[in-house]
Amino acid sequence: MAKLILRPGKEKSLLRRHPWIFEGSVDHLEGRARPGDTVDIVAGAGRYAGEVLAKGAWSPSSQIRARVWSFDPAESIDDAFFKRRVAAAVARRAALPELRGQDGLRLIHAESDGLPGVIADQYGDTVVVQLTSAGADKWREAIAGALQKATGCARLYDRSDSEVRAREGLEPVTGWLRGEAPEGDILIAENGVRMKVDIVGGHKTGFYLDQRDNRLALRDIAAGRRVLNCFCYTGGFSLQALAGGASQVISVDSSEPALTTARANLALNPQLESARAEWRCANVFEELRRLREAGEGFDLVVLDPPKFAPSASHVERAARAYKDINLGGFKLLKPGGLLATYSCSGGIGVELFQSIVAGAACDAGRDARIVRRLQGAADHPVALAFPEGEYLKGLLVQVD
């Protein structure tokens, strides 16, 4: 097995059990390793000089040169390893009462479940896996087998087409790993609302499971309110707002296919009053300005945009985009109105996001206060040693 030798002092984060080894921390590679191969990670100098501190997956094309599989140097990285890790991740979800009975569930949340680069979401009897690192890609079959064994799923689909794979030197990969496509649509029921999930062409693995709790929280405050849902995708927040008794829900997205699915999702729920829903295909930035010019007002505005900052180099531009949409949201709120605003950009931290929203409120001339902090659902845990896993953050803000 090849050895990745760290530069002096670069073992500190590893000793705190952070799973990433960056390019600048690597002194040299001793031996030969192909992308995805397991390497021993060795301290190069100081107190731990020559000591194997962890085992990780080598990725020569990425700025993150290695991702840790195990902090136990004696642990073998083999099929049995993935069976144990996958089974443990599934068992953790099963132990949480709030996740029991969910049709849509994240089973594996990458680094936070000790499986860097591995995402697995379950929709009924179908599991969708997304492999974003060289190490995860190398162990595709072992991971697929472990998932089928741990869940008993009828079928497993590979959605490894994320753009982040290019940074690992990987090509997009999609297709059925186990089983075949079902005859009909894949449907889930989320807190009493039925939704269609497009695992082949939809965003991420087909649905945004991380917002489950936040959609439910929105339903609880929607009664009697006029709601504007921006970047609505397939209508998750919109349908929950209708279920909560919203007087009207206007939903905006730039994707007509997403809106087509949203309308179909509404039709799946005859208990919801379709006359209260309006779907608009438009650029959200432009629609926010148009609504202001038209003198429109709302009791509740939802801003759930896509990832504006995929990496640290995009933070400045992303901050401007987040401020722009939040400024528009504040200007549309009636007195006493609520803004539910989110960022899923890992490069935008919690403090920075709050600062951006505060700046937007100031520019809009609105006094506002945070009434609730919002985050990902319980099946999207954040490892204490890996704060980067907290990508989704949100604020529920009330204006005077």
Q: Report pLDDT for 308.
A: 87
From the list 371, 377, 303, 382, the residue with the least C-alpha distance to 343 is: 303
Q: Report pLDDT for 311.
A: 66
pLDDT tens digits along 199-234? 999 999 999 999 999 999 999 999 999 999 999 999
From the list 7, 22, 8, 11, the residue with the least C-alpha distance to 312 is: 22
| Cα 184 from Cα 146, distance rounded (Å) | 26
pLDDT tens digits along 14-61? 999 999 999 999 999 999 999 999 999 999 989 999 999 999 999 999
* In the chain, where the domains are located: 3-70, 79-184, 187-399
Q: Percent of the chain scored above 90 by pLDDT?
A: 95
Residue in this structure with the two tokens 């650029």, named with its chain if needed: 283
**Residue 57 and residue 63 in contact, taking contact as beta carbons nearer than 8 Å:** no
- Measured CA to CA in angstroms, residue 151 lies from 86, 89, 108, 113, 243 at distances of 10, 11, 12, 16, 31
Give helix 284-293 / helix 315-332 axis angle, nearest 10°.
30
pLDDT band at 119 (very low <50, low <70, confident <90, very high): very high
Class of 79-184 per CATH? alpha beta
pLDDT tens digits along 245-294? 999 999 999 999 999 999 999 999 999 999 999 999 999 999 999 999 99
Tell me the pLDDT of the chain averaged across its residues: 96
- For residue 203, the Cα-to-chain-centroid distance in whole angstroms is 10
- Measured CA to CA in angstroms, residue 94 lies from 89, 99, 102, 200 at distances of 9, 7, 10, 27
- The answer, yes or no, to whether residue 12 has pLDDT greater than 70, is yes
Pick the CATH number of 3-70 from 3.40.50.720, 3.40.50.20, 2.30.130.10, 3.40.50.1970: 2.30.130.10
75-84 CB burial, b ≥16 within 10 A, e <16: eebeeebbbe
pLDDT tens digits along 145-197? 999 999 999 999 999 999 999 999 999 999 999 999 999 999 999 999 999 99
- pTM of this structure: 0.94
Q: Which of 153, 281, 344, 362 is catalytic?
A: 344
Q: Is 281 a catalytic residue?
A: no
pLDDT tens digits along 353-398? 999 999 999 999 999 999 999 999 999 999 999 999 999 999 999 9
122 backbone dihedrals φ, ψ, rounded to 5°: -110, 130
pLDDT tens digits along 334-345? 999 999 999 999
Q: Which fold has domain 187-399?
A: Rossmann fold (3.40.50)
**Residue 124 and residue 186 in contact, taking contact as beta carbons nearer than 8 Å:** yes
Q: Report pLDDT for 312.
A: 67
- The answer, yes or no, to whether residue 346 has pLDDT greater than 90, is no
User: Structure tokens of 305?
Assistant: 């945009």
